[in-house]
Chain A
Amino acid sequence: MEVARVRALRGPNLWSRRTAIEAIVHCNEEERDLSRMPGFIKHLRAIYPQLQVLPVPDGGVPRSAAHVIEIATLSLQAQAGCPVSFSRCGQTPEAGVFQVVVEYSEESVGRAALDIAQRLVQATLDDAPFNVESEVARLREMDEDERLGPSTGSIVNAALERGIPYRRLTSGSLVQFGWGSRQRRIQAAEIDRTSAIAQSIAQDKQLTKQLLKAAGVPVPDGREVKSIEEGWAAACALGLPVVVKPKDGNHGRGVTVNIETKPHLEAAYRAAMEAGTQVIVERYIPGHDYRFLVVGDKLIAAARRDPPFVIGNGIHTVTELVEEVNRDPRRGEGHATSLTKISFDEIAFTCLELQGLDPSSIPAKGLRVVLRNNANLSTGGTATDVTDEVHPDLAARVVAAAQMVGLDICGVDVVCQTVLKALEEQNGGIVEVNAAPGLRMHLSPSYGTGRKVGEAIIAEMFGTGTDARIPVIAVTGTNGKTTTVRLTAHILKQAGLRVGMTLTDGVFVQGTQIDSGDCSGPRSARSVLMHPDVDAAVLETARGGILREGLAFDRCQVAVVTNIGAGDHLGLNYITTVEDLAVLKRVIVQNVAATGYAVLNADDPIAARCGAACPGGVIYFSRNPANPISVTHRAQGRRVVVVDGDAISCVEGDELCRLPLADIPLTFGGRIGFQVENALAAVAAAWGAGVDWTHIRAGLATFLPSVAATPGRFNVMDYRGATVIADYGHNPDAMVALVQAVTAMPAKRRMVVISAAGDRRDEDIRDQTRILGNAFDSVILYQDACQRGRADGEVLALLRDGLSNATRTCEVSEITGEFVAIDNALARLAAGDLCLILIDQVEEALAYLTERCREANSAAVA
């Protein structure tokens, strides 16, 4: 058994909408049917009894070792606490080769689980021992490290609830919500508008107090002191009892309250100096500690925080009582649970000492023994939700405090007797204001109701009604993707949107190229969705990326399938038939938003069938007014975009918009069939994205076919009176379309220059020339350096082969080198001739051709 290749599918993919690990597993003859290995199952049960290997139904596919890897990878994750449920194991066309797909919630945990599963199967095969328990423990620990903490998690969940997409930017708590220009960020309980200055103010307790006082918020008087003597003088001046705390501390470290004597103050001063660099003495306000959470200008939650304590029973020592309390299973370690174990440490001992106790004392029955003078959950305190009891004046003061400091998410610490009364009525006060407050005590308080904090924060960031998405239009298909993307982007631009687009030849934002090379994969799509200046995205979504990594988005507004035709790139990655390819390209259709549209070519039966999988609406487009699919769709009152006479007509129910082909220069007045098809797709896509007709019309009218606007897509040039057409077409469907298009153009003699990429099936290469052979008088075959794995001359031979039954071609020549071939062709052209040049090195060849034509024509003028 061998795991040959592992991929992480980080977005919706061929198998599901969830993130998943995909592995190719090779099994030998024996491993393909476990029923033939009785020892295997038995041993597996022994080392991993929780694993349920389901019996095979009669006549079903026998269970293989690959199936065990599948269910073990899933089960291990589930046992480690990951919320996963989807898995599958499929036989590939190759015997003994399986595709195993298992959902993950954290990529590294999923990969680790797969690795463990693989070792588990190997151990079972080798009859070796294997400790599943410890592996699960390790996995659990890894998951806890990786997954979002409860505070951030609550905000992310609230976002998901509203359909807001998110993406983690680091392994920590930095998360981005939304796309493009609508993106926002959080980091734990901090949002991107949280002001750094406000945080600095909150850090400076004296400055905070000065500002709060200015805002009429009651605060305990206090002052900074530089020595114990000064501290005692201040305490006497302020009036005993007092609180001593570090100026720049946090988590309640170094804070001592209710100080009435000088020795107590001395100890407190030293404790404060250990936790900070400067010490503050302030008036002690008796009462409970409350934490108020303010989001924006609203009070969202309030909790009373009680310090950890035990109650004496006259029998047990303090140590024993603490141990008893800590045995409560709800009390965990650290920050993850609603209760934490009581810390029984130096601070607790000092606190006991002040009550005349030590750890071995046996407190009297009913005596409440406090173990700390602060109520932080992390040291064993408890939180009780009191949100519904807060007096409106008290709430107003707390909100005023947050606003005065300038914090949009703010934890306000209040000391008072009760929240039922205003602070002024009970001499209470605000003692501290905290940036990036912990949310745990409000999300899952020890006692009382949890509050919808995440929802409040998301509402503060996004207001109501928006899902922070920008319109995303995904385009796939065998031919016409690039032109459809460019034209759609151009139309969106007319609507005032700043458009980002990905293409097979680069990433463009507002017309500026920001990346080059093949950018039709998810990485490039993500870079557009992350770009702060993008209002709408048009993404060419090629098959490779979907297979490799899944989609870069959870859903799109519009998914366009231009055509599937006879397919392209067949034979790679277990995609062997046109139907397989349709299933793959259908992935974008399956992930259209409920309010969105799939734009499908009704003239391409396989593409048209994708409609059934679309959760949103479907817009069919067709060059044939009588196409039964679009006719039916239209009759059902749904949207169609069809050629009707000399115009494109867009219909939904009774609504009709006509766009004359004469006003769409890309189509050469409707003569170039495949460009008409691209225009139909782009019109439908823009319609699906909600662009109004004025802008669609303007976009169509101003999109001029040229080397600049549509490089390598039917670029028509004039060379001494001959028509030269450069195109990047490289599959049989493209040849059919090109032949159709050039046949519509008048010419004396027709010539074509063609090569082919080596990574296509033999028949696909042959087919290309077979098609051309019936339309061109003269064919120049060329090969260049890049043969993509083929031997020298192999591609040329196939191309020649395709011409063997040509009905029109009477002249064939073979040339090495793309530019030599171009020169050769140009040299043979006479005025009135037509030459189709199928270029390979697009940018260079176009530049070369443009230059040659310019030279020739300026020479002619001269």
Chain B
Amino acid sequence: MNQYDIRILDLIFLRGPNRWSYRPALEALVDIGALEESPSNTLPGFVARLVEWLPGLRKHECSYEEPGGFVRRLEEGTWVGHILEHVTLELQTQAGRPAGFGRARSTATTGVYHVVVRTTQEDLTRTCLLKARELILAAIEGKAFDVGTALRELRVLADRKGFGPSTACIVDAAVNAKIPVVPLSQGNLVILGHGTRQRRIWTAETDRTSAIAESIASDKDLAKQLIAPCGIPVPEGHLVRHADAAVEAAEDIGYPVAVKPGEASRGEAVFLDLRDGEAVRVAFAAAREVDSTVIVEKYIEGDEHRLLVVGDKVVAATRAEPFRVTGNGRDTLHHLLSVALNEIAQAAAPSAVPLTIEDFEDFPTVRLALARLNLTFDAVPAAGVKVELPRHAKIGVDVLEQVHPSIAAQATLAARVVGLDIAGVDIVARDISQPLATQGGALIEINAGPALPTHLPRGAHGSHHAGEAIVRHLFPGDDHGRIPLIGISGSGDTTAVARMVGFLLHLHGVAVGVACGNGLYLGERRVDHNDSANWAAGQRLLVNRTLNAAVIETTAESLLREGLPYDRCQVGLVTSLAADENLARFGVQDPEQLTKLLRTQVDVVLPQGIAVLNADDAGVLALAEHSDGEVLIYSRDAQSPAVLEALAKGRRAVYRDEDELVFAHGTEAERLPLPPTFDAPACLPAAACAWAANVPVGLIVSGIVGFPAATTVTDEAILPNN
């Protein structure tokens, strides 16, 4: 039995904004047992071992807000919960998915901590946390721990499950542009935006990428036939099926020629500058393995360039560089190449997935080049011997600024001719800054779903630039892909309020969905009878392409267990704050903690949005300061000081004044006769919410009257709470 243990009592994946963070996070309830008595500085050799295993920890700033801050804390003495947080974060970073935020907080129980780590990939963070626990225990006990193997496993997991590099940079750009991202649990589909405003991406394809255009692009010969008549130079070529025909075509065209498969791209089996029949035969055989038809075309001399076209613009351009290493008489070619690749990867953006030599090994062109040089990956080149491998699209130099306008125009025209909204256009030219016609350059091919340039050095027009361009293409102008989203939380009446607000929006002619404790509604149709005041149901509404607005109820428990199903909302309502013993098991006991929890609903209100708050509940009213947007209050009391103050400040308030319902804005007010059914507690917050959501006041009042009769659902829906 070990002297020390770290027990993980509970693990919660918070999928949306939550009490710790606006972003998804993993929350662990951790019991550090006897370690509570042993801060880091009291554990012999622990700190040194830890920092040796994970030198990256030296960069952690922690509370000192400067690199080395965390190591200082370790040396001064800090507790294992806090260390677990930092080690988990560091492991995530080393796995290639840096997440940034972490937190460790003690709970009411001694030795039990909340350790929270932000996550972009749940299973990775979970594994990192478990590995961090093992690593810390090993470091405490002075046992061996194979850090290298652990990191490799984590990287494999990150690569397998995470977004590919192209998708990741589009998603990053969307997040930066404040566009909500809804990843689906299935497949590679990512939904950007909500409801009718959503757009979809699947690697570097958008929902407007035409399937026909893709099939044209994959048929290289057809693509050329369509492009050439528009005045864009393309190399003369023939489609062949036999080696003899390939040689005949080569002789007809005139050497040197290039040979490549009729379909498939990414330059895997493209052979350039072939100068005789024998070379053509060898290349034909290799290309034939990729596709049954092979193209023999005029070899165009010059550098290969990849232009990334998005919409009507060239947004990135790279020149492929030959890949060179120099032998030292000690290391294998494999090792030399790996080192060179790492240098490139380090120069690239930090989010880029490192290249591995295996990315190159399988390519026939690489195999053929090595065979020509009589080399294998295991060979040890003598000192000073230079080995050059064929140019490769993954290793490029940014040339965006140099591209001649006529070439950019031709590249975008080619994309239009084929019908692609995003295309990778391959151009061979001696000098990309001069028109093609003057230098005998040509457009070689056009590719759908191109990989984004993820391996350019920092500062170049690389993946970040490309991702941004794609997001701007999908969401032009100030479109953020958002539909009006009304978030409803609080201790009472929330289900009925959600239903009623949904009904009022529906009356107003908005295609609205409601996820609440009473079920899931699309318009008037109740499509799910199960409790839908949860994360999954909320997300279900937001991916629905037919919805123009969504009303989502989130219970305090759901907020604790899952987080909100959206990042920001247009209208955020908190009805009331009342202690709930069910929440005690989450460590939420006193009203103050409840306030902290429900404040999330107000925190996520958009700057142009509105927080709707119950002025009759002092705790709720106090949340006003957390709203980035406007604040609209409601009250049963026309003389409430809060109402008077709000109106005096020119704000909005909805209140009951005897037999009238008053919608007041500063000095102006609309007074409407109180509907007979208005005594139901949900009516007032629903009216305030609907007003915040731009439903005309007249419609609100008549809608409240019509609500019970106009709906097919059982009356439980409008009763105070369910």
Contacts and interface: CB of A to CB of B under 8 A. Distances in A.
Interface of A: 169-170, 174, 185-187, 190-201, 204, 206-207, 210-211, 213-216, 400, 403-404, 406, 435, 507, 509, 512-515, 526-527, 530-533
Contacts of B520: 216
Nearest to A513: B231
Nearest to B202: A197
Given A169-B226, A210-B186, A216-B520, 20 more contacts: A186-B212, A191-B212, A192-B210, A194-B212, A196-B210, A196-B213, A197-B206, A198-B207, A204-B186, A213-B540, A216-B522, A406-B200, A507-B231, A509-B231, A512-B231, A514-B231, A515-B231, A532-B230, A532-B413, A532-B416
Contact of B211 (A196, A211, A214, A400): A196
Interface string B163-207: 000000000000000000000111101000000000011100111
Nearest to A215: B544
B216 A195 contact: no
B209 interface: yes
Given A174-B216, A207-B189, A509-B230, A196 B544 contact: no
A195 B189 contact: no
Contacts of B200: 195, 197, 406
Contacts of A515: 229, 231
A400 B546 contact: yes
Contacts of A169: 222, 226
A187 B215 CA distance: 10
A191 B419 CA distance: 11
A207 B229 contact: no
Contact of B212 (A192, A400, A513): A192
Nearest to A188: B212
A192 B525 CA distance: 34
A196 B214 contact: yes
Contacts of B231: 507, 509, 512-515
Contacts of A195: 200, 207-211
Contacts of B419: 185, 192
A196 B186 contact: no
9 contacts: A174-B222, A192-B212, A196-B211, A197-B202, A200-B202, A204-B187, A207-B189, A214-B540, A509-B231
Given A191-B212, A195-B207, A533 B416 contact: yes
A216 B528 CA distance: 8
A27 B345 CA distance: 77
Contacts of B527: 216
Q: Which of B212, B449, B527 has the most CB of A within 10 A?
A: B212
Contacts of B544: 214-216, 404
- Contact-size category for B: 35 or more
A191 B545 CA distance: 21
Contacts of B623: none
Contacts of B546: 215, 400, 403-404
Sorted nearest first, the 3 A-B pairs with minimum C-beta distance are A514-B231, A216-B527, A527-B229
Contacts of A507: 231
B28 to A, nearest CB: 29
Contact of B210 (A193, A404, A513, A533): A193
B535 to A, nearest CB: 13
B124 interface: no
Interface string B226-247: 1001110000000000000000
B672 interface: no
B417 interface: yes
A407 B545 CA distance: 12
A170 B222 CA distance: 8
Contact of A403 (B186, B202, B545): B545
B687 interface: no
B540 A196 contact: no
A198 B187 CA distance: 12
B200 to A, nearest CB: 5
A216 B189 CA distance: 20
B212 A530 contact: no
A207 B210 contact: no
A403 B195 CA distance: 12
A12 to B, nearest CB: 21
B629 to A, nearest CB: 28
Given A207-B189, A533-B416, A194 B540 contact: no
Q: Which of A187, A195, A210, A526 has the most CB of B within 10 A?
A: A195
Interface string B537-555: 0011101111000000000
A185 B212 contact: yes
Nearest to A393: B525
A753 to B, nearest CB: 32
A515 B205 CA distance: 33
Contacts of B210: 192-196
Q: Which of B216, B230, B543, B546 has the most CB of A within 10 A?
A: B230
Nearest to B200: A197
B565 to A, nearest CB: 12
A435 B212 CA distance: 12
B448 interface: yes
A194 B448 CA distance: 15
Given A400-B546, A403-B545, A192 B416 contact: no
A513 B449 CA distance: 31
